[in-house]
Amino acid sequence: MLRMITGRPGPSGFGSASTAEQVTHAIDGSNLTAIVTGGASGVGLETARVLAMRNVHVIIAARNMEAANEAKQLILKDNNAARVDIEKLDLSSIRSVKAFADNFSALNLPLNMLINNAGVMFCPFHLSEDGIEMQFATNHIGHFYLTNLLLDKMKETAKATGIQGRIVNLSSLAHLFNYKEGIQFDKINDKNSYHDKKAYGQSKLANILHAKELSRRLQEEGANITVNSVHPGLIMTNLMRHSALMMSILKAFSSFLWKNVSQGAATTCYVALHPSLKGVTGKFFNDCNEYEPSKLAQDGDLARNLWDFSNNLINAALKT
């Protein structure tokens, strides 16, 4: 907590005050290709901008294509040599995720990094077009399915280039504020038991558990890909549109805990690009340093149950 407040660097040499540009200083990503979901605004846009600054070919995956194009132009305005493309992706729609993966495959590009950044937060109860609670559908199921669809491409790229692939899930310390059982498998879509804050925490716990289980599976397989999850920090972005007043009041009393967008993107960029993290997998990072998540987030049985549950939800949706 003291490091979080003071910005004092941790063992990595970086801390809460570090920016995305600082943690990627002098790193050349010219031989890398990355997908950044939700890269049209907020932390996602800053992540895309800094990766492009480090010569990474960035694919911005976004639901709003007008906003995605504006983000691309903003990046190009400051860096006309940047390699940035945009593709449509609505993570709350399983069919949109499949269409995005098919469209990306048709581009015949390599894929070194997948940044699962996009999300929704504290929204009122609502079901996705697939009949799944919206926070769980967007924050977890969409990214879970997208990752599975892109894994073969990442494995092929890692094998062909010898460069280790990296998957980064944006989670949150909000995973600590959750339903008692962690994941309400039998009540995912139950309106009566829905709590917007706990449902968000549930989806963020799912992000960590997904990274944990996928990391385990890839290690067993011997695939040259790491999977980690990160907490970006408290940042006032469009993600908080459903709770803007509450967050503004909170920020007034805890301004020392809040970050700007560049600081918020630092941990993502550090985990995605820094050479010191080669081979590091299945970990949770906060302020650019390893951080121990909740006991539920370290529960291997819960992670495996979530994996099977997620596949079943997706398979059921694809049959309708």
- Is 194 an annotated catalytic residue? yes
For residues 197 and 155, is the Cβ–Cβ distance under 8 A?
A: no
Count helices and strands (H / E) in the chain: 12, 8
Find out whether 298 and 208 touch, Cβ atoms under 8 Å.
Answer: no
Q: Which two tokens stand for residue 282?
A: 């299945």
Tell me the torsion sign for CA atoms 189, 194, 200, 205: negative
DSSP letters, 254-303, are -GGGB--HHHHTHHHHHHHH-GGGTT--S-EEETTEE----TGGG-HHHH
Quick one: how far is CA 314 from the chain centroid? 19
- CA proximity to 195, closest of 214, 180, 209: 180
Determine which one of 145, 194, 200, 270 is catalytic.
194
Instruction: Please tell me what DSSP assigns to residue 183.
Output: S
How far is Cα 260 from Cα 280, in angstroms, rounded to an integer? 27
Q: How far apart are CA 187 and CA 290, in angstroms?
A: 32
CB 169 within 8 A of CB 230: yes
Q: What is the DSSP letter of 63?
A: S
Q: How many other C-beta atoms lie within 10 A of the C-beta of residue 48? A: 33
B/e letters for 191-203, b = 16+ CB within 10 Å, e = fewer, are eeebeeebbbbbb
Residue 226: φ, ψ to 5°: -105, 155
Instruction: Indicate which residues carry an active-site annotation.
Output: 194
